[in-house]
Structure 1
Amino acid sequence: MLLLLALVLGATAWWVHATATPRVRGQLTLAGLQGPVTVTRDEWGVPHIRARVSDEDAVYALGFVHWQDRAWQMDFQRRVVQGRLSEVLGTAALPQDRFLRTWGFQRAALSALPALSERSRRLIRAYTAGVNAGMAQGKVALEFRILGYTPDPWTEVDSLSWSKLMAYDLGGNQADEVQGARVVRRLGAQGLNEVTAPYPASAPTVLSSDELGTVRPTPPGPVRAGPEHASRPDTGLPPATVRALQAHLNAARELGLNAVPGKGSNNWVLAGSRTASGKPILADDPHLALSSPMLWYLADLQGPTLKAIGASIPGLPSIVIGRNERVAWGVTNVNPDVQDLYIEPQGARLTARTEVIRVKGQPEVRLRVRESAHGPIVSDVGAGEIGPRVALKWTALEPGDTTMDAFVGLNYARDWRDFTRALEKYVAPTQSFVYADVDGNTGYYAPGRIPVRKGWDGSLPVSGDGSREWQGYIPHAQLPHTYNPADGLIVSANNQVVPASYAFSLGNPRNWAEPYRAQRITELLSAQPGGLTLRDVQRVQLDTVSPVWTDFRPVLLHTVPGSDLSRRALALLRGWDGNETIDSVQASIFEAWLMQLHGLAEDELETETRMNSLSVLNQLRRGGTLCAVSGQGDCAQVLTDSLEAAVADLRSRLGPDPQDWTYGKLHQVASNHRAFGGVRALAWLFNHSSPTPGGTNTVNVARPQRGTYAQTHGASYRQVIDLSDMNRSVYIGSLGQDGHPLGRHAADQQGRWIAGRYLPMSTDPSDWGRTRSLQLTPAQSARTR
């Protein structure tokens, strides 16, 4: 029956593809344009947009092609922000809608629109008109046909919506606060450093003390004391409240947000003193959830003054990561602590609103959302309006978010002064921006609203009695930054940004990613002190040697095997160089073993808790308390048992002979569809999978998912930009440009992405291969206005 259904759906998909394929050749007359625009799609489906009269026309065309190629993605993304998934997906999406409505992502987006500059508003209006012009062409995405609905017209606020979800995915630690409260309850305050080790004092920071020498922050004033003792936060959350908070986290993970610990991004910039050309090279690869279609959409925009190329996000009217004619930039996540959970005292003033959630085929659901002065009460779900009332305070929910102004400004930046002025408008999520320009300058800035706390570090829920209030934000001029550092190298890999000499706190010392990737990148780039080329930088970006294995090797190889199969697996690891290639057997053994060890704290906490590698290593080296199993045992026994569990798992999946345990059979990328990825009859059509190299904390991060070994997160986009000749720059996405599962560009980048090959990031038509051109001309009424 399923086979028949699949065949029917396959035939239907082919028919829909034939009838829904957008126009990519010829000429279209569209209302809202000021002048003619040419859209030339290159061999890989990347549009090169050329507008003669205005920059607004170029952005109009971007909206048009975004809707042509990614209509479903755009509509799904705005439905997520609005909390309107149940309208089209039914009751299964209600937990997600409750989470989204409670947090108020859409309300925050609505409050941001009036705060934007006139230039941004003009571009958003043009983009909105372009999207709606694309919608008016009548081509309907397959997902709309399957679910049986017609999308609403695009609005200006829709172009701000998805940035709020990105801010959630990249900019908060409320999950850490929930876990921290659980850890303190079970293990005491000392357990926080056991479960999540602080960033090592000897590990590299993005900026050195010397580079911060010109940044002299003014410490904040005294904190106002509250009626309760101000030296310790109140972490006494009852289990029902913790479960209610966890319900939000679970809903977010169902949406693919904050799903994997340790996911990370890399970017770096080399000054001309380190390159063969004498000009900078800038590299970036943001690591996010991999999906079908992919998040990013490669595009080349040119108007009279707007000339930007790189990665856009369908729904947003600008290039997010990339370059223009003079300046290149890249981003990784800083992950400062910009969220706090407040336990509101009895008598605290609360307001309430009712959210009406429409559900497909079912009666509507009415959701009562309460708010305090700190923000929405996020403990009501599941627990009801009983027990402690826990409110969320978060920079991204505050009014006046001008982050869109910042990204628009980057597209136009001509030099470091323009670049930093644009970033003054940046709010959330705080990112590590690396910079380079054609004059040979390099730099770094970490912009955004980062709260100033005094007397507490934000790692645990605190009382909302007034004793733990933010003391404003770190002033923009005093945020971490450097310009033309003396050593000519800036490396960011989600590691700690600043040394202890920095006067402000960016968050508690457990917030940062482990230093493995930053150390490995620095090591590889420093091994050749001068003369680095574009290809050398690409090899670093694609590196799959595990620095985690280097640290774990002495400990793991002292393990006493508990069976013959464990002995054979251990013998295979002894001579391994740590390179996690697709054909490596050792990579399978190591990652399976590491997966077992990451669960070291689960018996103590009685819940799924994934420790990071550094925390596990600290326990194994020191004979830590978390090595106990049900109150008994030691680390040596944990090593024996975890190896036995790992090889038993591999045997059940790949057979009894370890020589057959090649990594590519186990570890495959899972670029799955957000709505249909788990529907058996549809998954084959929408999902894309293939063996991939890399693993936990390799530079080319490809952490296997627990239980499946799938790679669900990774380098969602890669770019390497050569400032000596911009058109020699390269980029690549994780899947393809086309949102239709049968489109010619649905997945044509994936093979190159896995193999470590790139596309030309060029504005020169001679680099575009076979092309198809569409002429967009203004309607008569628009031309004569």
Structure 2
Amino acid sequence: MNKPVSSSQQDVILAILRGELRLDDAAGRLGITRRALSNLKRRYLKSKLPVLSGEIQAPLDAPAKVMRDRWGVVHIAANAVADCYTALGYAMAQDRLWHLDFQRRQAHGRLSEILGPGHLKADRLHRTVGLTKAAESTRLSDEATVVLNAMSDGINAWMETDHPRPVEFDLLEYEPEPWSPIDSIAVWKWRWWMLTGRLDNIAISEVARRHLPPDLFEIFMSIEAGEETIVPARREAEVGGFDSVEGSNNWVVGAGRSSSGKPILASDPHNPVWHPSQWYQAQLTAPGMDVIGAIFTGTPGVYIGHTRQTAWGVTNHTASMRDLYTEAVTQDNPEVYWESGDWQPFEVESEEIKVRGQDSYLLTICKTVRGPIVNEFVSQVDETPNPPLSLKWVGSEPFSGFESMLSLHRSKSVSDVLVALEQWPCPALNMVFADSSGRIGYHAVGHIPRRPVTWHGFRPADDPSHVWEGYYSFAEQPEWVDPDADWLATANNPPWGGRGPYMSLGNWSDGFRYRRIRERITSQETLTPEDVGQIQGDIYHARAIELAPVVGEMAKKERNKRLREIGDLLLEWDGAYAIVLVAPSVFTAFWEHWLRRVASERFSEGVVSLASDRAGGVARRLL
């Protein structure tokens, strides 16, 4: 039996992992060979793995069972919902304790405390936005309170065991604090902010509004492939263009198109490869609930998943849930702003941010009645600095949305799903769903503010016509249930056609990804689960299929031999982004350069990078 790793040996191993010691130097310091050192390091790391079998004492009212399948996915069975979530918290802490701590530090603006000044700007942002205060003010239903308390009990029960902490705590030399329901809410609100904040999207619109005449502004704000709408429309979508090939996709085929006679649903959020993953997969079984799917780590709800009778998937529905307002101030007194016909003092808060390896940072947050001043986090849109910009964001409201997720966990039909989704506050999402009876549907969800004035860019704070007037009702939002075509899909693309007030709120993606999904689904009368799954691996880019021949013909007319060869390359290409092909790199390089070239015709060098991201509609028209 191997001896435990001594404290001096552990210090050397940690120095290796931190990059402070070379292997030869470390082996020499311990007086052992490199092979022995490798074995020693393996023993130390193995000692950090949790024990995943046997019986343990936990704060439960009755026994619960936690099983892991061959993929490591947790399956929990309990006789009460609270016990089920205690077990979930315990298992999540076993598998992801440091990840949990990272998630909550990120939300609370405390990463610099353990990771140093490189995370200070992110900490300032999340504190300025006020994720912690929003979490502390959140009102929960009785059921959500029970669930969050139970999950916190489970996480803390694992932390109270004498099992060694994950290696990250040793590397960073600190101990985790007890978990609380506020942590889960803050982590969830960080997810909201990640999907709905994106302040530079507003800055891009402001750049265009300032620098372009009205006719060019309308073209600039147009969208590529606007005919590809989620709900069929007589007119193509005319606003909201923003190129986001990395966005998310989901789709569902109904019983009539399925080889099994049951709907088949797929959902791909297209998140970056993070280690560990932001998702924690689990099955939760308790009286009235049997659900499995992807949970955002640190929270209790299955975000993408299914019960025995229903399934759901999501993409980002990019209707704006925030606004930036230009505040009127005076040089004579920078501590006041103009509000309701008088000068009002900014509300000022100070927060200390601890920073590893250096002195603490004192953050000063100035607030108006709309929200905090966020200039530090918004790109400059002109040669002169931006005016004071205040942020109003739906996520600051005192709700969590966990009630909606818990209702989804109990759903047995499309009707149940719709009832659950009506409670969903944030983020704004495109939900597709299905049930075992064969019904399918789509509904946009989230509290989308109703603005009396359609506007792009920074809104004037002193104009009452820009004050929010409640939210669009659930019935007013885009939806399509039981379509005759027997399939549905979304890809961050426009939900409707035209240019109405709701559509003008969106930063919709181009329709190219949706087009490929539509083409794949409608190319077959009947699809198997394998057929539906293979769409996730589709490597054809609809923009390239459409435009590469155009660019190729242009290149063929050039005098330069190399350009003519590139023209042949693009004309022979079918639009597949296969790793062995050169054409995808050529076309991508051309498109990125072309966007900048188009933007630079009308925008100054300082804002070209901002403007080029949204120039796809114009760039496509010119070609």
Give the TM-score category using the shorter length. Answer: 0.7 to 0.9
> What is the deviation of 1:70?
1.3
**1:552–1:617 Cα contact (<8 Å) kept:** no
* Superposition pairs of residues 62-461 of structure 1, within 5 angstroms: 62-112=88-138, 115-137=139-161, 138-172=163-197, 174-190=199-215, 192-193=217-218, 195-198=220-223, 201=226, 203-208=227-232, 261-346=244-329, 347-348=338-339, 349=344, 350-379=346-375, 388-398=387-397, 400-461=398-459
SS at match of 2:583: helix
SS at match of 1:297: strand
> In structure 2, how many angstroms separate the alpha carbons of the residues matched to 1:260 and 1:294?
25
> What is the deviation of 1:581?
1.7
The corresponding residue for 1:18 is 46
**1:194–1:619 Cα contact (<8 Å) kept:** no
The corresponding residue for 1:577 is 574
**1:339–1:395 Cα contact (<8 Å) kept:** yes
Can you list the C-alpha shifts for 1:284-327, whole angstroms capped at 9, x where unaligned? 11122321111112211212222111111220112211001111
> In structure 1, how many angstroms separate the alpha carbons of the residues matched to 2:559 and 2:86?
65
> What is the deviation of 1:264?
0.9
Letter in 2 for 1:164: K
> What is the deviation of 1:139?
2.7
> What is the deviation of 1:173?
5.1
Compare 342-351 and 606-615 and name the one that shifted more. 606-615
Letter in 2 for 1:515: G
> In structure 1, how many angstroms separate the alpha carbons of the residues matched to 2:42 and 2:217?
54
**1:548–1:613 Cα contact (<8 Å) kept:** no
Q: Is 1:48 equivalent to 2:48 in the alignment?
A: no
Can you list the C-alpha shifts for 1:348-382, whole angstroms capped at 9, x where unaligned? 33211111111223332221111111111112679
**2:155–2:179 Cα contact (<8 Å) kept:** yes
The corresponding residue for 1:216 is none
Q: Calculate the TM-score normalised by the size of structure 1.
A: 0.67
> What is the deviation of 1:593?
2.8
**2:225–2:512 Cα contact (<8 Å) kept:** no
> What is the deviation of 1:619?
2.9
> What is the deviation of 1:601?
4.9
**1:337–1:458 Cα contact (<8 Å) kept:** no
The corresponding residue for 1:548 is 543
**1:49–1:62 Cα contact (<8 Å) kept:** yes
CA 1:333–1:141: 2 relative to 1, 3 Å: same
Letter in 2 for 1:28: I
Compare 481-490 and 176-185 and name the one that shifted more. 176-185
The corresponding residue for 1:478 is 476
**2:246–2:270 Cα contact (<8 Å) kept:** yes
Q: 1:487 aligned to 482, 485, 488, which one?
A: 485
The corresponding residue for 2:237 is none
**2:454–2:501 Cα contact (<8 Å) kept:** no
> In structure 1, how many angstroms separate the alpha carbons of the residues matched to 2:106 and 2:592?
31
CA 1:532–1:610: 2 relative to 1, 3 Å: farther
Unaligned runs of 5+ in 1: 211-258, 624-785
**1:450–1:506 Cα contact (<8 Å) kept:** no
**1:340–1:458 Cα contact (<8 Å) kept:** no
* Superposition pairs of residues 624-773 of structure 1, within 5 angstroms: none
CA 1:477–1:185: 2 relative to 1, 3 Å: closer
> What is the deviation of 1:15?
4.1
Letter in 2 for 1:341: L
SS at match of 1:600: helix
Q: 1:600 aligned to 580, 584, 597, which one?
A: 597
Q: Is 1:513 equivalent to 2:537 in the alignment?
A: no
Structure possessing the higher relative contact order (Cα contacts under 8 Å, 6 or more residues apart): 1
Unaligned runs of 5+ in 2: 1-15, 27-36, 235-241, 330-337, 380-384
SS at match of 2:120: helix
Can you list the C-alpha shifts for 1:677-710, whole angstroms capped at 9, x where unaligned? xxxxxxxxxxxxxxxxxxxxxxxxxxxxxxxxxx
**1:196–1:612 Cα contact (<8 Å) kept:** no
CA 1:505–1:621: 2 relative to 1, 3 Å: closer
SS at match of 1:609: helix
Q: Is 1:36 equivalent to 2:35 in the alignment?
A: no
CA 1:493–1:314: 2 relative to 1, 3 Å: same
SS at match of 1:426: coil
Q: Calculate the TM-score normalised by the size of structure 2.
A: 0.84
> What is the deviation of 1:260?
9.3
Can you list the C-alpha shifts for 1:399-446, whole angstroms capped at 9, x where unaligned? x21311111111111223321222222111111111111111111111
Letter in 2 for 1:575: E
> What is the deviation of 1:611?
6.3
SS at match of 1:146: helix
**1:199–1:496 Cα contact (<8 Å) kept:** no
Can you list the C-alpha shifts for 1:601-647, whole angstroms capped at 9, x where unaligned? 56433145266789446436537xxxxxxxxxxxxxxxxxxxxxxxx
Q: Is 1:619 equivalent to 2:619 in the alignment?
A: yes
Letter in 2 for 1:155: S
CA 1:601–1:78: 2 relative to 1, 3 Å: farther
> In structure 1, how many angstroms separate the alpha carbons of the residues matched to 2:102 and 2:219?
40
Letter in 2 for 1:27: E
Letter in 1 for 2:144: S
CA 1:296–1:337: 2 relative to 1, 3 Å: same
> What is the deviation of 1:171?
1.8
Q: Is 1:522 equivalent to 2:518 in the alignment?
A: yes
CA 1:340–1:105: 2 relative to 1, 3 Å: same
> In structure 1, how many angstroms separate the alpha carbons of the residues matched to 2:517 and 2:225?
17
> In structure 2, how many angstroms separate the alpha carbons of the residues matched to 1:13 and 1:355?
40
The Cα RMSD (Å) is 2.8
**2:206–2:456 Cα contact (<8 Å) kept:** no
CA 1:153–1:568: 2 relative to 1, 3 Å: same
> What is the deviation of 1:60?
1.2
**1:86–1:94 Cα contact (<8 Å) kept:** yes
The corresponding residue for 1:61 is 87
Compare 123-132 and 407-416 and name the one that shifted more. 407-416
The corresponding residue for 1:532 is 527
> In structure 1, how many angstroms separate the alpha carbons of the residues matched to 2:476 and 2:617?
36
> In structure 1, how many angstroms separate the alpha carbons of the residues matched to 2:275 and 2:233?
43
SS at match of 2:390: strand
> What is the deviation of 1:561?
5.3
Letter in 1 for 2:414: W
SS at match of 1:139: coil
Letter in 2 for 1:431: L
